[in-house]
A and B are shown apart, each in its own frame.
Chain A
Amino acid sequence: MRSRNDSTILADRNSGAATPIASLRGISKRFPNVVANDAVDLDLFPGEVHALLGENGAGKSTLMKILYGFYSCDRGSISVDGEERRISSPLDARMLGIGMVFQVFTLIPAMTVAENIALYVPDLSVRFTARSVGKVIDELGDRYGLRVDPRAAVRDLPVGDQQKVEVLKLLVGRARILIFDEATRVLAPHEIEGLFEIFEMLKRDGYAVVFITHKMREVLACADRITVMKQGRVSGTIEGRQATESALVARMFGGSVPDPVFRQGGDAPGDPILELRGVRTHPIGMGVGLRDVDLVIRAGEIVGVAGVSGNGQRELGDLILGLIPCARGKRWILDADATTWSAGKIRASGVGFVPDDPLGMAVVPWMTLAQNAALGDVETYARHGGLSIDWDHVQRDIAASFDELSFEALDAYVPVRAFSGGQLQRAVLSRELGRRPRLFVASYPTRGLDVRSAMAARRVLVDLRERGGGVLWISEDLDELCRVSDRLLVLRDGRIVGEFLPNEMDRQRIGHLMTDSGGADA
């Protein structure tokens, strides 16, 4: 196991850290549709937090995945400890001491923390005992503020603790460079502070921490060095102490950041479109059951739902769509008691949706755009009692919808799995909005999208509100929610624990509600 006295304690910070622990030179990487990295140079030094800042699609994640051996670069070189190295797989990277915490964890939910980490212990004995691994976990945990119970099953841990297990995995595997890809996405505001404290402790022992993010505020709070990327190129590197928001903005966007005002703050919302009264649901599998949910969505209103993933967001959306039955309580849609309605009936009454995983949950991947569009409303397109389908009508509707939403046209006869994330989201939105829904359930509608697509998605949903629709907007991006919501709800453990009006939205308070953490100077 790891000993504190070996040479992995890196360069003393006081010496000025002149030698980079890793260097990337001239990295270029191209994917079929896009240039992800274009001649990127980067130096990583031990004992400092280096932030990679840029919008979604700027190439930061790709660059680090190349360093981690997940992708191979088309051109360029990587040096570790001054020597040029070929990194062709994550195994190679780990041998060199490079570790990465991804946005989607590679943990095994059913196994315990100790078992998960044991998989990463080099020279694990043939007879494996949970206890010895547990001891190491406790030691490391105490040292770096990563305390978790080794005997707990990973699936029982809150997301923040799961992230700690991911970090422990890397430390146990003798990583010296720790890369965090959008690590704050799943954390509540005060948990983010906790993460930065962990960065400090790691820094102190000479680790090099790379922090990929698109949030300026976070970068300014923790980074010693900031590299800004834009459209696959490095647009500047600034020392943390000297960085200002405007300097960063200038490098991220090349001008001023487009900040459309979303809330017109005009007409009061109209009649209720959705009402949930005292709803309770049974938990399914490893999910959460909703309890005592009272919710109203009115016409011309966006209701935002904030919360840590896994606290009932998916259940809430599915409940409204009719995919989960109400164990207790009532569900009213457009003045009709929809408590016992099937998903098909609810959909037919004017409810649309965009799920958090469009490819997996809203379309049939091998079918074409036309086929998927037809599936969106089969009855409308069926002829002769169902014996045939009017494909011309489908075509016309697709064109009309794309036009109305100001989306670029897409090839209607290609399997939709060939589309990029943004294109697919637009296709789904076009199908759903083309049906003129009165109620819309949007789950994480802009997650992982490039800037243009994210803006387009926001725009059409806000337009829906302007036209009198009611929108339930579930997101983990608090900034986004605060910008678009007419009312913001906080969901925790299947309960609505808070409701905020625009002038009350205090990120700290919301964050504490999200994680049930006292709120008093945690």
Chain B
Amino acid sequence: MHRAWGGIAQFVKRGWTVAAARYAGILGGALIAYAAVLLLAGKDPIRAYADTFSFALGTRYGFSEVLVRMIPLLLTAVAVALPSRLGLINVGGEGQLYMGAWLATWGAITLPSLPKAVFIPILIVMGFVGGGGWAAFAGFLRARGWVNETITTLLMNYVAPLLVGYSVYGMWRSREVGSAAFPQTVAFPDAARLPRFFGTRVHLGLLLGMVALLGLWFVMERTKWGLKMRAIGGNPEASRRLGIRLGLYIVVVMFIAGGIAGVAGMAEVTALHGRLRAGFSPGYGFMGFLISWLAGGSPLGILMMSFVLAIVFSGGTLLQITQGVPFSAINVLMAIILFVVLANPRFSSGALRRGFQRGGGRR
């Protein structure tokens, strides 16, 4: 037992430093490139970065806001990382997030009043089912060999916000004063609001995110299902011949992944806004994709990258307020980061993940 702990500590430490060095390199390169883009656009990158970092790490409020931003990123990243181990590319985090929020909203608005301790778990389940069902459909199409899941989830990313918009402008529309200009649903009952901590906006979602991360690690590395899933990712044909039910795993894994993204959506609307608004996500789903790719699908990496990207993200809002750069310019930064990872095979997902597992081979 002692030996095992020592061994684990060794490889975590080794993996950590190597991976940290890689990530630092990637982000450093990306930030420099983005600074260049900002310069070209006539903005002051030094001031932008200084503002961002001092806010994020210097103030209590700033730090808590970073954590708030980190929550949906953690969850959507897991939603991409899990299917990636099977070789599936889930770009549908955005749509799954919206559908989770949508179903949870239905629950919050339609269900009779219940005590908080009961209501919250129900809403979490609804968020899970909403996003999960959305993703399972794409999984089903892929399992039958009809449509590649990347394309399906991409297309469905366009449909989900439309459905939410339809509901918000239509049947769930709030008639409250002041809502005419800014369509939104009625406010959720208090029992439907996700609890927050320490007087900040950091909410229960953080716990859910950590649970998802831990679950990802444990299932993939230790359990029999994880072994089978990794086998599917490594060689689907051989897995089929060994009796592993490919179709079932694909659909179930997509369901769980979509469910996790759905919970992210549910958490956003119940914890932060208290109602559903059209277009409430500034692209969390895509950012989760980016994080998962950067981290090579490894849970530790996802944790680190979510934190860093949350800082960058709060920079985005700042930039919009202070320097007039459209928020979607963050997309450029994301593209640069993705480019750096893809252009350098040493940073490929497999290599990054195996960087963490160098002590392994046993499992």
Q: Do chains A and B touch in the complex (CB under 8 A)?
A: yes
- A365 touching B224 in the complex, CB below 8 Å, given contacts A344-B243, A391-B363: no
- B9 to chain A minimum Cβ distance, whole angstroms, is 20
Chain A contacts for B239, CB-based, 8 A: 364, 375
- A53 to chain B minimum Cβ distance, whole angstroms, is 35
Please determine whether B241 and A386 come into contact, CB atoms closer than 8 angstroms. no
Please determine whether A343 and B243 come into contact, CB atoms closer than 8 angstroms. yes
Segment from B230-238, B255-263, B323-331 that makes contact with A: B230-238
- B11 to chain A minimum Cβ distance, whole angstroms, is 14
Please determine whether A370 and B362 come into contact, CB atoms closer than 8 angstroms. yes
Of the residues A321, A365, A374, contact of B235 by C-beta under 8 Å: A365
Chain B contacts for A364, CB-based, 8 A: 230-231, 234-235, 238-239
A103–B222 CA distance with the chains assembled, in angstroms? 43
B116 contacts the other chain (CB 8 A): no
Chain A contacts for B234, CB-based, 8 A: 364-367
Of the residues B227, B230, B244, B363, contact of A344 by C-beta under 8 Å: B244
Please determine whether B223 and A387 come into contact, CB atoms closer than 8 angstroms. yes
Chain A residue nearest to B234 in the complex (CB): A364
Which size class do A's interface residues fall under?
35 or more
Of the residues A323, A371, A391, contact of B240 by C-beta under 8 Å: A323
A110–B174 CA distance with the chains assembled, in angstroms? 59
Please determine whether B362 and A362 come into contact, CB atoms closer than 8 angstroms. no
Q: Which of A368-394 contact B (CB under 8 A)?
A: 368, 370-371, 374-376, 378-379, 381-382, 386-389, 391
- A386 touching B243 in the complex, CB below 8 Å, given contacts A361-B237, A362-B238, A375-B228: no
Segment from A5-13, A190-198, A347-355, A402-410 that makes contact with B: A347-355
- A348 touching B362 in the complex, CB below 8 Å, given contacts A360-B237, A364-B234: no
Q: Which of B188-230 contact A (CB under 8 A)?
A: 222-225, 227-228, 230
Chain B contacts for A366, CB-based, 8 A: 234, 350
Chain B contacts for A391, CB-based, 8 A: 362-363
In this complex, which of B235, B240, B243, B245 has the most chain A Cβ atoms within 10 angstroms of its Cβ? B243
- A382 touching B235 in the complex, CB below 8 Å, given contacts A342-B245, A367-B230, A391-B363: no
- B338 to chain A minimum Cβ distance, whole angstroms, is 24
Please determine whether B244 and A363 come into contact, CB atoms closer than 8 angstroms. no
B242 contacts the other chain (CB 8 A): yes
In this complex, which of B223, B225, B230, B242 has the most chain A Cβ atoms within 10 angstroms of its Cβ? B242
Of the residues A321, A348, A382, contact of B241 by C-beta under 8 Å: A321
Chain A contacts for B115, CB-based, 8 A: none
Of the residues B230, B240, B361, contact of A343 by C-beta under 8 Å: B240
Please determine whether A323 and B241 come into contact, CB atoms closer than 8 angstroms. yes
Chain A contacts for B230, CB-based, 8 A: 364, 367
Q: Which of B265-316 contact A (CB under 8 A)?
A: none
- A363 touching B238 in the complex, CB below 8 Å, given contacts A343-B243, A370-B362: yes
A469–B171 CA distance with the chains assembled, in angstroms? 67
- B1 to chain A minimum Cβ distance, whole angstroms, is 14
Please determine whether A389 and B363 come into contact, CB atoms closer than 8 angstroms. yes
A413 contacts the other chain (CB 8 A): yes
Please determine whether A363 and B243 come into contact, CB atoms closer than 8 angstroms. no
Q: Which of B244-259 contact A (CB under 8 A)?
A: 244-245
Chain B residue nearest to A321 in the complex (CB): B241
Chain A contacts for B225, CB-based, 8 A: 386
Chain B contacts for A363, CB-based, 8 A: 235, 238
Contact with B along A315-355 (1 / 0, CB 8 A): 00000010100000000000000000011111110000101
A395–B336 CA distance with the chains assembled, in angstroms? 45
Of the residues B222, B231, B243, contact of A347 by C-beta under 8 Å: B243
Of the residues A344, A346, A389, contact of B224 by C-beta under 8 Å: A389
Chain B contacts for A345, CB-based, 8 A: 243
Chain A contacts for B222, CB-based, 8 A: 387-389
Chain B contacts for A371, CB-based, 8 A: 227, 363
A364–B237 CA distance with the chains assembled, in angstroms? 9
Of the residues B231, B238, B243, B361, contact of A360 by C-beta under 8 Å: B238
- A371 to chain B minimum Cβ distance, whole angstroms, is 7
Chain A contacts for B350, CB-based, 8 A: 366
Chain B contacts for A365, CB-based, 8 A: 234-235
A381–B223 CA distance with the chains assembled, in angstroms? 11
Contact with A along B10-35 (1 / 0, CB 8 A): 00000000000000000000000000
Chain B contacts for A379, CB-based, 8 A: 224
Chain B contacts for A347, CB-based, 8 A: 242-243
Chain B contacts for A386, CB-based, 8 A: 223-225
Chain A contacts for B363, CB-based, 8 A: 371, 389, 391
A371–B228 CA distance with the chains assembled, in angstroms? 10
A361–B238 CA distance with the chains assembled, in angstroms? 4
Please determine whether A360 and B235 come into contact, CB atoms closer than 8 angstroms. yes
Chain B residue nearest to A347 in the complex (CB): B243
A346–B241 CA distance with the chains assembled, in angstroms? 10
Please determine whether A342 and B243 come into contact, CB atoms closer than 8 angstroms. yes
Q: Which of B81-118 contact A (CB under 8 A)?
A: none
Of the residues B237, B242, B361, contact of A376 by C-beta under 8 Å: B242
Chain A contacts for B235, CB-based, 8 A: 360-361, 363-365
Chain B contacts for A413, CB-based, 8 A: 361-362
Please determine whether A368 and B361 come into contact, CB atoms closer than 8 angstroms. yes
Chain A contacts for B227, CB-based, 8 A: 371, 374-375, 378, 389
A414–B361 CA distance with the chains assembled, in angstroms? 8
Chain A contacts for B228, CB-based, 8 A: 375, 378
- A331 to chain B minimum Cβ distance, whole angstroms, is 16
A381–B224 CA distance with the chains assembled, in angstroms? 9
A353–B245 CA distance with the chains assembled, in angstroms? 17
Please determine whether B231 and A375 come into contact, CB atoms closer than 8 angstroms. yes
A344–B227 CA distance with the chains assembled, in angstroms? 16
A-B contact pairs, 16 of them (CB 8 A): A342-B245, A347-B243, A360-B237, A361-B237, A362-B241, A365-B234, A366-B234, A371-B227, A375-B244, A378-B224, A378-B227, A379-B224, A382-B224, A389-B222, A389-B224, A391-B362
Q: A361-B238, A371-B363, A379-B224 are in contact. List 4 more A-B contacts (CB 8 A).
A: A366-B350, A375-B227, A378-B228, A391-B362
Q: Which residues of B contact A (CB under 8 A)?
A: 222-225, 227-228, 230-231, 234-235, 237-245, 350, 361-363
Q: Which residues of A contact B (CB under 8 A)?
A: 321, 323, 342-348, 353, 355, 360-368, 370-371, 374-376, 378-379, 381-382, 386-389, 391, 413-414
